[in-house]
Structure 1
Amino acid sequence: MNEERDGDAAAAAARHARYGRLPGRIRFEEMTEGVEAGPNGGVRASYAPEGAWKYYACLALDLGL
């Protein structure tokens, strides 16, 4: 039983050495970023109906059914 406590104490000491302190706080201002939006509302690509089929997935088609 004593050996188990020594192992637990050693593991706890190693864990404390590695994770003993939490990182510093991050302010809310550092987490957000303001970006100016353009007149098109952020949409860069136009809709092309003839190529729209490329972006849809169908399990039946993937399995060859």
Structure 2
Amino acid sequence: MNGESKDEGTQSTQSTQDTAEAAARRSRFGTLPEPVRLADTVEERPATRPDPARDAYDPDEWLVRYCL
């Protein structure tokens, strides 16, 4: 009999602990976070800064440099 009452006390303590853990888990993870809109997941910005020297390329310059 003594062993049975000891087990019952352990089970009630364990169930109280489980209930407290479940309540804490439910309060933390009980609801899903708000959905994130697809537009909020994309950031658009240029890969490099605009370079005026690059835009001033003359396609015929290589003829002058290498063929003459």
TM-score (norm. length: structure 1): 0.49
TM-score (norm. length: structure 2): 0.47
